[in-house]
């Protein structure tokens, strides 16, 4: 079974029973008729089943055929279209709540469905223009056979072609065919980020479109090649470094991202895209997000997009 496959597995565990400690010190004795019965022990929590990847790696790409893709999912429909938020205006202040940020940005984030020789893969993307230019990760569309399908937050689907990719920067640009009137994302300035700043991640983890999580910027200028287990460095591409392996300086965040979030938006509290979610750290004991995610700074992404557009 490959790292791209999923199987049911435990996602929770029980909480140990808390002991009842005696109360020390003198208290007024209670009449015998008022003595309370001993407290009933707390029941153990139920175990919860979850979908987990078959193989966890030290650092896993979070969507697409080249890395930790969601492969073998049947049907192209997404369960997320029913959760679309109504767009609202978000001010430039950093005090905006997450729901307002999500309402603004959700219409600008798409789900990307790719057919490869290994199966069907799912990632995310960010709309750059009203006529359907879309930014995503190169590993999301790696190995694509024919066109890819992009799904808007309201469920509308378009066929899309790959305009260009840069595998080292892990950036790809798509073009939705016949698209018009799409809501382009507002792109921010990633050089203005600071550690501790609140951010929001939006994408399609496990194919669950329109998923919103929040957290903070945990660190800046992380070298992707430094990610590893026990001091060992490993590549997100099946732990084997090669010329096509991505190499970039990333934003580290604790906003939960999982397989399928790749290519989705990392957003500041002004509703501006400041990064493209691309990788997560997943030690062998974990099947999903452990609060260490990585995003490509949007300033770097804009430079690569400009180069790809020029051919």
Query: Can you tell me the distance from the alpha carbon of 18 to that of 23, in angstroms, rounded to the nearest whole number?
Result: 15
Q: What is the CATH number of domain 54-77+90-310?
A: 2.40.10.120
Query: Can you tell me the distance from the alpha carbon of 172 to that of 159, in angstroms, rounded to the nearest whole number?
Result: 16
Q: What is the pLDDT of residues 200-223, one digit of tens each?
A: 999 999 999 999 999 999 999 998
- Is the distance from CB of 98 to CB of 270 less than 8 angstroms? no
Segment 166-178 shows an average pLDDT of 96
Q: Dig out the tokens for 242 from the structure.
A: 């090669």
Segment 159-185 shows an average pLDDT of 96
pLDDT at res. 60? 53
pLDDT at res. 95? 55
Under DSSP, the state recorded for 300 is: H
- Per annotation, catalytic residue among 120, 139, 142, 151: 139
- Per annotation, catalytic residue among 120, 166, 170, 300: 170
Region of 181 (left: φ > 0; alpha: ψ -120 to 50; beta: rest) is left
Query: Can you tell me the distance from the alpha carbon of 112 to that of 92, in angstroms, rounded to the nearest whole number?
Result: 29
- Is the distance from CB of 199 to CB of 252 less than 8 angstroms? no
For tokens 């997100």, name the residue.
Answer: 236
Active site residue 139: yes
Residue 260, pLDDT above cutoff 90: yes
* β-bridge mates for residue 275, sequence order: 297
Give residue 38's pLDDT band: very low, low, confident or very high (50, 70, 90).
Answer: low
Residue 232, pLDDT above cutoff 50: no
Under DSSP, the state recorded for 68 is: S
Candidate from 15-19, 217-221, 290-294 with smallest mean pLDDT: 15-19
Query: Can you tell me the distance from the alpha carbon of 119 to that of 285, in angstroms, rounded to the nearest whole number?
Result: 26
Residue 227 class from Cβ within 10 Å (0-12 exposed, 13-18 middle, 19+ buried)? Answer: buried
Q: What is the pLDDT of residues 79-106, one digit of tens each?
A: 333 333 333 333 334 457 999 999 999 9
| DSSP helix/strand/coil, 104 | helix
Q: Hey, which bits of 21-85 come out as E strands?
A: 49-53, 59-61
pLDDT at res. 26? 41
Active site residue 262: yes
pTM, 2 dp: 0.70
Domain boundaries, the chain: 54-77+90-310
Q: Dig out the tokens for 127 from the structure.
A: 């709309």
């Amino acid at each position: 079974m490959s790292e791209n496959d999923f199987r049911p597995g435990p996602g929770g565990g029980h909480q140990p029973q808390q002991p009842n400690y005696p109360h020390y010190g003198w208290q007024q004795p209670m009449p015998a008729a008022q003595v309370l019965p001993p407290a009933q022990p707390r029941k153990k929590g139920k175990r919860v089943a979850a979908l987990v990847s078959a193989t966890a790696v030290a650092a896993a790409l979070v969507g697409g055929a080249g890395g930790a893709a969601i492969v073998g999912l049947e049907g192209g429909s997404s369960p997320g279209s029913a959760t679309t938020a109504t767009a609202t205006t978000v001010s430039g202040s950093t005090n905006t709540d997450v729901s307002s940020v999500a309402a603004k940005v959700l219409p600008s984030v798409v789900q990307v469905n790719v057919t490869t020789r290994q199966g069907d893969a799912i990632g995310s993307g960010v709309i750059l223009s009203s006529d359907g230019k879309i930014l995503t990760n190169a590993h999301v569309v790696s190995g694509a056979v024919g066109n890819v399908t992009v799904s808007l937050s309201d469920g509308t689907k378009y066929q899309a072609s790959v305009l260009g990719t840069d595998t080292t920067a892990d950036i790809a640009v798509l073009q939705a065919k016949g698209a018009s009137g799409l809501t382009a994302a507002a792109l921010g300035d990633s050089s203005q980020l600071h550690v501790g700043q609140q951010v929001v991640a939006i994408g399609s983890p496990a194919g669950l479109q329109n998923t919103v999580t929040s957290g903070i910027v945990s660190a800046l200028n992380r070298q992707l090649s430094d990610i590893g287990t026990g001091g060992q460095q490993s590549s997100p591409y099946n732990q084997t470094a090669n010329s096509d392996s991505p190499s970039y300086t990333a934003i580290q965040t604790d906003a939960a991202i999982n397989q399928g979030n790749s290519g989705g938006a990392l957003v500041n509290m002004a509703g501006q895209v400041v990064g493209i979610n691309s990788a997560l750290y997943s030690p062998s004991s974990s099947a999903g997000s452990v609060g260490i995610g990585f995003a490509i700074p949007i300033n770097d992404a804009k430079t690569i997009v400009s180069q790809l557009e020029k051919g």
